Amino acid sequence: MAKHEIKDLVEWDKRIREKVAEFGLDCFPQEFEICDHSQMLGYMAYSGMPSHYPHWSYGKSYEKLKTLYDHGVSGLPYEMVINSNPAIAYLMRDNTLLLQILTIAHVYGHNDFFKNNFTYRTTRPELTIETFKAHALRVRRYIEDPSIGLEKVEHVLDAAHALQWQCRRNLAIRKIGPAEQIERAVEAARPREDPFKKIHARPEYKEPDLRRVPLEPDEDVLLFIRDHNPYLAEWEKDLLTIVDEEAKYFLPMMETKIMNEGWASYWHHRILESLELDQGLHLEFIIRHNQVVRPIPGQINPYHLGFKIWQDIYRRWTNPTPEEVKRDGPPNKSGTEKIFEVREVERDASFIRRYLTEELMREMDLFEYEQRGDEYVVSKVSDEEGWRKVKETLIKNVGANSIPVIKVEDADFGQNRTLYLKHYHDGRDLHLEYGEKTMSYLQRLWGREVVLETTLDGKRSLLCSNDRGFSVRTLK
């Protein structure tokens, strides 16, 4: 190591952990591993996991990262931390001492967030490493099995990866099982209690169609296929399970990118400010910190946006301006209480909706753009008239909101075992080229014709993929 030794880091870590405890952050035990840049690239390609099942897409991602790194287009992150108990983080060997200190503080922020934010409740962090390792072992076993082999495993994994994110978004909401679904359908079909039924005509009783599969639209596309395609072999079902489990593990990170990075940046900032660094280190800290949380013109830097909102919440609950008191009333709890509450109960979409104020949006000069011809043009800016629209668009693009909502509606469409899905259109059309390819993957897994109902240019349309190929039909 260049200028600092492990014992320096241990020393600094001790001081940082004192601060962590003092500020009331609540962390998993922490482990740090020192790695060099090529190891870091390796970890990045596999989302930080020490073991992961093989697939060519990770090779592709490695090559891409390496090309970008070698050509100096993008640097490497100073740190990488995974949501597990104990939390594992990687520190780059070539970082300066200050960067290591900043990173360690940053990592504790993430660690606290993983442990306390509600979206991570379903990720079972104490089993993370073992789960991924078990997945890797199972997939490797299928690859080595002479009756299966790499080609077939890849065939299924390619298709499963394409549909990986077509799953339930809010994992905190319990999924309703088939028995309960039947109950609900029967309940819904029962005529409502009518106090004036004596004078009203008797409502016609419509029998609920309980043979329909699924009874209620199902968002977990991979799991639905696993459970309802009788021709899948056990190992194929297992692959679908593995891919689905990984998606659900990573989903909370996607859903809280802005909060999580903002939270970690907010705390490394507060911790380092309280450490009484000497002047040289402090100067470097200011430079590095501003690099991390700088705004990137034309884009949204999650570090910047998150950091700004957290700071703003703390300020509004600690030291609100008279106008804010007039508008929102005096704060009912301290700034610290408030931010700890928010970090527990929000996700990016709700975080932005509730805590990104008009003033902050104007200060950050947020805007909305749309494509006109082959250019992106600003369509709304955060002025009095436009800020709500800008905020709406921003929320539409964070976390899982950037993935189309597609649900399985009918597994036996036209009594033909055709899989009928519906895209819940929210003003944004599907990308057709990508749609076509993904439909063919869907067909591959389902083994029969698949149909997707969507809206294209304002018209209800059906995308069909079957043995004759892909077609788009517009419905009247």
Partner 1 sequence: MDTIFREYRPSDAERSDRSAGDRLRHRQKVRESIRDNIADIIAEESIIGKDRDRVIKVPLRGIKEYRFVFGDNAGGAGQGEGDTQEGQVVGKAGQQPGKGDDMAGDRPGVDYYETEVTLEELIEIMFEDLELPNLERRALREVLSERSSKRKGYRHVGIRVRLDKRRTAKQRVMRMLAAGRGPRQMAEAAALEGNVAEERRFPFHKDDLRYKHIEIDTREESNAVVICIMDTSGSMDTMKKYLARSFFFLLYQFVSTRYRNVEIVFIAHHTEAREVTEEEFFHKGESGGTFISSGYQKALEIIAERYHPSLWNVYAFHCSDGDNFESDNPAALKAAEELSNLCNLFGYGEIKPLGSRYYESSMLNVFRRIQNPNFHTVLIERKEDIWPSFKAFLAKERAQQD
Q: How far is the CB of 287 from partner 1 (least distance, A)?
A: 20
* Of residues 131 and 438, the one with the C-beta less far from partner 1: 438
The window from 26-34, 170-178, 319-327, 334-342 that contacts partner 1 (CB under 8 A) reads 26-34
Q: How far is the CB of 464 from partner 1 (least distance, A)?
A: 15
Instruction: Kindly tell me which residue out of 196, 371, 469, 476 binds partner 1, with binding defined by CB under 8 A.
Output: 371
Q: How far is the CB of 412 from partner 1 (least distance, A)?
A: 22
The window from 115-123, 275-283, 386-394, 467-475 that contacts partner 1 (CB under 8 A) reads 386-394
By CB under 8 A, what part of segment 295-324 binds partner 1? 295-302, 304-305
Q: x/- site string to partner 1, residues 184 to 223, per CB under 8 A?
A: ----------------------------------------
Using alpha carbons, select from 442, 456, 372 the residue that is nearest to residue 229: 442
Beta strands in 59-138 (DSSP E): 79-82, 87-92
Biggest CA-to-CA distance, the chain? 90
Q: Are 422 and 453 within 8 A, CB to CB?
A: yes
Q: x/- site string to partner 1, residues 160 to 179, per CB under 8 A?
A: -xxxxxx-------------
* Of residues 60 and 333, the one with the C-beta less far from partner 1: 60
CA 459 to the chain's CA centroid: 30
Number of residues that bind partner 1 (CB under 8 A): 91
By CB under 8 A, what part of segment 128-157 binds partner 1? 150, 154
Task: Return the H-helix or E-strand segment holding 35.
Answer: strand 30-35
The Cα 65–Cα 375 span in angstroms is: 27
Pairing of strands 450-456, 418-423: parallel
Distances (CA, A) of 36 to 39, 68, 71, 75, 285: 5, 17, 18, 13, 22
Give the angle 252-258-262 at the CA atoms, nearest 5°: 120
Q: Are 400 and 169 within 8 A, CB to CB?
A: yes
> How many CA atoms within 13 Å lie on the side-chain side of 122?
18
* Of residues 207 and 433, the one with the C-beta less far from partner 1: 433
The window from 191-199, 210-218, 281-289, 392-400 that contacts partner 1 (CB under 8 A) reads 392-400
CA 310 to the chain's CA centroid: 20
295-311 as b/e, with b when 16 or more CB fall inside 10 Å? eeeeebbbbbbbbbbbb
- 250: contact with partner 1 by CB under 8 A: yes
- 462: contact with partner 1 by CB under 8 A: no
The Cα 289–Cα 270 span in angstroms is: 11
* Of residues 51 and 418, the one with the C-beta less far from partner 1: 51
- 464: contact with partner 1 by CB under 8 A: no
Distances (CA, A) of 237 to 176, 233, 421: 21, 6, 20
Instruction: Kindly tell me which residue out of 18, 26, 63, 180 binds partner 1, with binding defined by CB under 8 A.
Output: 63
- 37: contact with partner 1 by CB under 8 A: no
The region that residue 356 occupies, defined by phi over 0 for left and psi between -120 and 50 for alpha, beta otherwise, is beta
* Of residues 9 and 98, the one with the C-beta less far from partner 1: 9
* Of residues 6 and 189, the one with the C-beta less far from partner 1: 6
CA 26, 31, 35, 38 torsion: positive or negative? negative
* Of residues 295 and 335, the one with the C-beta less far from partner 1: 295
Calculate the CA dihedral of residues 226, 229, 233, 238 and round it to 10 degrees.
0
Q: Are 455 and 425 within 8 A, CB to CB?
A: yes
Q: How far is the CB of 230 from partner 1 (least distance, A)?
A: 25
Block residue for tokens 């200060």: 363
Q: x/- site string to partner 1, residues 71 to 100, per CB under 8 A?
A: ---------------x------x-------
DSSP tag of 191:
P
- 101: contact with partner 1 by CB under 8 A: no
Using alpha carbons, select from 460, 391, 398 the residue that is nearest to residue 429: 460
The Cα 368–Cα 380 span in angstroms is: 5
CA 225 to the chain's CA centroid: 23
The window from 112-120, 209-217, 232-240, 388-396 that contacts partner 1 (CB under 8 A) reads 388-396
By CB under 8 A, what part of segment 393-452 binds partner 1? 393-394, 397, 400, 402-404, 406, 423, 427-432, 434-435, 437-438, 441
Instruction: Kindly tell me which residue out of 377, 384, 467, 476 binds partner 1, with binding defined by CB under 8 A.
Output: 377
The Cα 28–Cα 259 span in angstroms is: 19
Q: x/- site string to partner 1, residues 339 to 368, per CB under 8 A?
A: -------------------------xxxxx
- 110: contact with partner 1 by CB under 8 A: no
The Cα 181–Cα 165 span in angstroms is: 24
- 224: contact with partner 1 by CB under 8 A: no
The window from 38-46, 114-122, 318-326, 329-337 that contacts partner 1 (CB under 8 A) reads 38-46
Instruction: Kindly tell me which residue out of 23, 118, 235, 369 binds partner 1, with binding defined by CB under 8 A.
Output: 369
The window from 25-33, 183-191, 200-208, 339-347 that contacts partner 1 (CB under 8 A) reads 25-33
- 260: contact with partner 1 by CB under 8 A: no
